[in-house]
Amino acid sequence: MGGMANSTDTSTKTAPQASDETGRNANRSTTPGSEGFKEFIGTGWAEREEAIPPARAQAAFAAARRAKVSAAFGGIRLIIPAGDMKQRSNDTDYPYRAHSAFAHLTGWGSDSEPGAVLVLSPDGDGHTATVYFRERAGRDSEEFYANPAIGEFWIGARPSLAHVAADLAIETRGLADFEHVIDAVDTATLVLREADAAITDRVDHARIRFAAEQALSTNAADTPFSIEVGGDHEPDGELARVLSEHRLVKDEFEVGEMRAAIDATERGFTEVIAELPRITAEVRGERVIEGVFATRARLDGNDIGYRSIAAAGPHATILHWTRNDGAVVPGDLVLLDAGVELDTYYTADITRTFPVNGTFSPVQRQIYEAVLEAADAAFAVVRPGAVFRDVHAAAMGVIARKTAEWGFLPVSAEESLEPENQFHRRYMVHGTSHHLGLDVHDCAQARKSMYMDGVLEPGMVFTIEPGLYFQPDDLTVPAEFRGIGVRIEDDILVTEAGAENLSVRIPRTADEVEAWVAGATH
């Protein structure tokens, strides 16, 4: 299981590098450049003692995942980048997050290094896995103090090759050695295109070079040759699909992380409810909701798993309301859609809708209980062997029936459910379920036959999230319905015996929600 650390740091090597702030600020730099300063800052440091850790718990699971990928692409070199930093403005970047496929196959999460690359190189009947990353610079290098993007004075010490090799139980090399991978690229080499545009471009050009060299070596210089480069390169697309589909069924480690992410999210929701007096006192109370939950996400995990939706009053009818700048007014409902992302990147995705003053009005309760009935109907069909799209169909049956009973549809519920009609979808245009895991919308590049038309298996985790949304200016509904939005979203695990609602402890019936709010605010 132990990994290997090969090569030492040489900061003068040419290699792909993480974003470098130096060029963005050259005209205002005050970094000393004298030889005396360089000599002084490079000396007088205590010996660094680094404890080599045992392999992290996820390492064995990541190795098993790589073995499945290796079996799917025998004899083909695979390049899966983590991705680099992304610029927010001038010399500031967005918080770094490695690509989910890289994290899945290495077990490296929030502590991963920007610009790292996983390479699976053909080796006999399988592959040798190597993680390339920019290794620690010596204190005698200028990078140590002068590079704000990766210098130790600026961002802290980076891990050594030996540390990461032991931690992930995988071979590691310096990023400078990635040049040898590029040199070995052939037309069969595959790259995860979306992860790192710069690396994808280099692989594309290396393919062209290899094809040209092959043509010349066969004395066919006058014979036209071509290779598809850029765009939607189909072989690369197959790699992305396979990596996505392999995440459809979660292993034991992943299920444990999902439970932990949901537990943290439950704490975040409870803390939001407890802050309702402060929330209602602020002009932009939705921002307080967002901030309270984000604090819990940072305390218990890496960050929020996606931009939180803290939608009060009519904002709850806007499906992806993330501006979160409105007031929270007693008498209105709040729709909170949020999830904690752990340091391993696994995220929850949960929605609760609650009355600000602790009591649903009759119409609010009527809508809420209809949505809850739809959610329960969807949950009832979840079991191994069921088809994923049937979860949505079950929820839609209730939504159509309720909106027809209320007189909102121009036809009966049965007629509305016909594919050529779908009038009830005016009040719920989104889907009922999506897979969940490392991405909030996980496995999105899986084939339709594996996703919407896929058969449910134990270990799958997905949401059930029906809703009803009546826009403030919708004249097809009575005035008392307008401006009300309700969504109830839970995270579901398919088990051998059926299904488990992982988020069921978070109050979800109307009576439970009222008691929850009353208990936290009184």
3-state SS of 134-168 is: CCCCCCCCCHHHHCCCCCHHHHCCCCCHHHHHHHH
Spatial separation of the C-alpha atoms in residues 364 and 482, rounded to whole Å: 11
Q: Which of 229, 244, 259 is the last residue of a domain?
A: 244
Q: Are residues 143 and 67 in the same domain?
A: yes
51-61 mean pLDDT: 96
Mean pLDDT of the residues in the chain: 92
Residue 231 has pLDDT above 70, yes or no: no
Quote the tokens at residue 190: 């595959």
pLDDT (0 to 100) of residue 222:
55
Is the predicted pLDDT of residue 397 greater than 90, yes or no?
yes
Residues 216, 262: one domain?
Answer: no
Quick one: pLDDT band at residue 25, thresholds 50, 70, 90?
low
Candidates 271, 194, 281; CA nearest to 230 is 194
Confidence of residue 9 (pLDDT cuts 50, 70, 90): very low
Tell me the pLDDT band of 484, cut-offs 50, 70 and 90: very high
Per-residue pLDDT at 321 exceeds 90: yes
Residues 367, 259, single domain; the answer is: yes
Check pLDDT > 50 for residue 267. Answer: yes
What pLDDT is stored for residue 91 in this prediction? Answer: 84
Instruction: Give the pLDDT confidence score for residue 103 in this predicted structure.
Output: 98
479: CB partners within 8 A, 6+ apart: none
Q: Which of 244, 266, 290 is the last residue of a domain?
A: 244
The answer to whether 467 and 430 have CB atoms below 8 angstroms apart is yes
Number of domains in the chain: 2
Count Cβ atoms below 10 Å from residue 346 Cβ, excluding itself: 33
**Residue range 513-522: average pLDDT?**
86
Kindly state whether residues 205 and 277 are assigned to the same domain: no
Please enumerate in sequence order all residues whose Cβ is within 8 A of that of 512, keeping only pairs 6 or more positions apart, or say none. none
The CATH number covering residue 186 comes to 3.40.350.10
| Residue 280 pLDDT > 70 | yes
What was the pLDDT predicted at 223? 54
**Highest-pLDDT range among 4-8, 232-236, 456-460:** 456-460
Other C-beta atoms closer than 10 Å to the C-beta of 480 total 13
Task: Please give the DSSP secondary-structure letter assigned to residue 242.
Answer: H
- CB neighbour list of residue 161: distance below 8 Å, 6 or more residues apart: 5, 6, 7, 8, 135, 136, 172, 173, 174
Q: Is the dihedral of CA 275, 277, 280, 282 positive or negative?
A: negative
Least confident piece of the model among 24-33, 257-266, 472-481: 24-33
Distance CA 127, CA 120 (A): 5
pLDDT at 522 over 70: no
What amino acid occupies position 213? E
pLDDT at 155 over 90: no
* pLDDT given for residue 153 in this prediction: 85
99 and 62 belong to one structural domain: yes
Residues 290 and 319 in one domain: yes
460 and 374 within one domain: yes
Q: Are residues 19 and 144 in the same domain?
A: yes
Name residues whose C-beta falls within 8 Å of residue 267's C-beta, 6 or more positions apart in sequence. Answer: 296, 300
pLDDT in tens, 418-453: 999 999 999 999 999 999 999 999 999 999 999 999
Asked if 247 and 289 touch (Cβ cutoff 8 Å), the reply is no
Do residue 257 and residue 110 come from a single domain?
A: no
Residues 312 and 221 in one domain: no
Beta-bridged to residue 334, according to DSSP, are 312, 354
Q: Among 196, 218, 244, give the residue marking a domain's end.
A: 244
CA 521 from chain centre, in angstroms, equals 33
Predicted TM-score of the model (pTM) = 0.92
Identify the domain containing residue 424 by its residue range.
247-521
Q: What angle do CA 501, 441, 276 make, to 5 degrees?
A: 65
The CATH number assigned to the domain holding 412 equals: 3.90.230.10
In 301-385, alpha helices (H) = 362-380
Share of residues in the chain with pLDDT > 70 (%): 92
Q: Which of 223-227, 294-298, 338-342 has the lowest mean pLDDT?
A: 223-227
Q: Are 340 and 304 in contact (CB under 8 A)?
A: yes
> What is the pLDDT, as a whole number, of residue 22?
58
Residues 356 and 216 in one domain: no
- The per-residue pLDDT for 2 is 44
Measured CA to CA, the distance from residue 424 to residue 394 in angstroms comes to 14
Average pLDDT, stretch 188-200? 97
Whether residue 141 has pLDDT greater than 50: yes
b vs e for 165-202, b when ≥16 Cβ sit within 10 Å of the residue's Cβ?
bbbbbbbbbbbbbbeebbeebeeebbbbbebbeebbeb
Residue 494, strand partner residues: 499
The alpha carbon of residue 513 and the mean position of all alpha carbons in its chain are separated, in whole angstroms, by: 29
Residue type at 476 in one-letter notation: T
Whether the per-residue pLDDT at 361 is higher than 80: the answer is yes
Q: Are residues 289 and 155 in the same domain?
A: no
pLDDT at residue number 13: 36
- Return the percentage of the chain with pLDDT > 90, whole number: 81
What does the pLDDT read at residue 331?
Answer: 97
